[in-house]
């Protein structure tokens, strides 16, 4: 194992060049759109009706979750996201439309006769007490897939990258992924996937997949590894199994491990100073990695930038994103002192 400082891989000049191109970079995000609702409050007593705490509500927030949070991460960094997803014909669907409009995120939404996927998190001070999910997994109809393809024929030339944000809520199907794979091959587009285990066979030949440690372990039916050597063997097994060009396994407090197409394996330690909330961290990684790659970064440069962005978001409470100013400030702080391990 060889330690290399970040400065030897990506200096300030190259970082500035990549982030400057964000504003001219278009990225399509296709996947499951979720309404993330947060109810914040305090607990001071137990209910007389049942042995449960009583939360006195102090604040409520509604945010873009799932593929919507990926699009928001790209938008806040100055990129140009275009979201493709589905919502229900209900109040929560209308709320998502309003948030997308407020954030100036362009979208193509299919309305379905099923509830909009919603995750409600109840938080007492900084501790999550319970999460309440509302969803109905409903796959796209063939006519929906056809309408998406027609729209993509018009949009594909205006983007450099495509993200598949798969939360296994029904939007992502093999037919849809096959369409994106054809665009990748025909137009040379970058195609990345934030995956779900049950759909791993669909992702063959994509540019990169970004599973977390648990997802990576589950797909090859082994216990979650801890030592770096075991994680390396896990990643190499997945690359052989899936056939993707690159693989980026996120490791929580241990950072991430990148498996490049030509065999190099690199461990990137986390730069997070403290971890407040990991909600949406995977969205940040896939968003920043793909945006950077689409803006001309190398695979290792894109991974380092996404690792820094993830370190910023996990220090925030709730579904969070990072701004370009925050990213630049943190990059300058870690440039001299942080490193990567080349295995």
Residues marked active site are found at: 283
Tell me the CA distances in angstroms from 133 to 13, 96, 261, 276, 296, one per residue in order.
45, 16, 38, 22, 38
The most distant pair of C-alpha atoms in the chain lies apart, rounded to whole Å, by: 65
Tokens of 305: 């930038």
Give the bridge partners for 267, in sequence order: 257, 341
**Coil, helix or strand for 165?**
strand
Separation CA 41–CA 60 (nearest Å): 9
Tell me which residue has tokens 């701004």: 323
Tell me which residue has tokens 């063997």: 233
Tell me the CA distances in angstroms from 337 to 55, 269, 310, one per residue in order.
43, 12, 18
Nearest to 165 by CA among 285, 249, 248: 285
Tell me which residue has tokens 């992924």: 177
How many C-beta neighbours within 10 Å does residue 6 have?
Answer: 22
Tell me the CA distances in angstroms from 239 to 13, 45, 79, 179, 205, one per residue in order.
32, 52, 29, 22, 10
Separation CA 81–CA 287 (nearest Å): 10
């Amino acid at each position: 194992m060889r330690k290399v400082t970040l400065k030897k891989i990506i200096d300030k000049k190259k970082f500035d060049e990549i982030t400057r191109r964000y504003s001219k970079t278009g990225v399509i995000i296709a996947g499951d759109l979720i309404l993330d609702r947060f109810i914040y409050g305090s607990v001071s007593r137990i209910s007389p009706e049942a042995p449960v705490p009583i939360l006195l509500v102090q604040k409520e927030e509604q945010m873009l979750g799932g593929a919507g949070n990926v699009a928001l991460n790209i938008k806040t960094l100055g990129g140009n996201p275009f979201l493709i997803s589905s919502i229900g014909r209900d109040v929560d669907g209308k709320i998502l439309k309003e948030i997308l409009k407020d954030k100036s995120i362009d979208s193509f939404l299919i309305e379905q006769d099923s509830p909009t996927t919603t995750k409600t998190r109840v938080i007492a001070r900084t501790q999550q007490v319970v999460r309440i999910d509302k969803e109905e997994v409903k796959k796209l109809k063939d006519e929906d897939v056809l309408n998406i393809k027609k729209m993509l024929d018009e949009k594909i030339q205006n983007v450099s990258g495509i993200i598949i944000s798969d939360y296994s809520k029904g939007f992502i199907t093999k037919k849809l992924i096959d369409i994106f794979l054809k665009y990748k091959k025909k137009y040379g587009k970058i195609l990345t996937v934030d995956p779900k285990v049950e759909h791993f066979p669909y992702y063959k030949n994509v540019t990169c997949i970004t599973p977390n440690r648990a997802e990576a372990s589950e797909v090859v039916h082994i216990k979650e590894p801890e030592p770096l050597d075991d994680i390396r063997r896990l990643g190499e097994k997945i690359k052989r199994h899936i056939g993707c060009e690159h693989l980026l396994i996120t490791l929580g407090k241990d950072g991430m491990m990148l498996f490049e197409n030509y065999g190099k394996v690199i461990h990137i330690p986390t730069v997070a100073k403290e971890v407040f909330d990991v909600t949406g961290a995977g969205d940040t990684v896939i968003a920043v990695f793909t945006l950077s790659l689409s803006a001309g970064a190398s695979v290792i440069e894109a991974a380092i930038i996404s690792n820094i962005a993830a370190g910023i978001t996990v220090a925030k409470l709730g579904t969070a994103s990072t701004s370009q100013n925050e990213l630049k400030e943190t990059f300058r702080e870690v440039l001299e002192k942080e490193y990567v391990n080349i295995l």
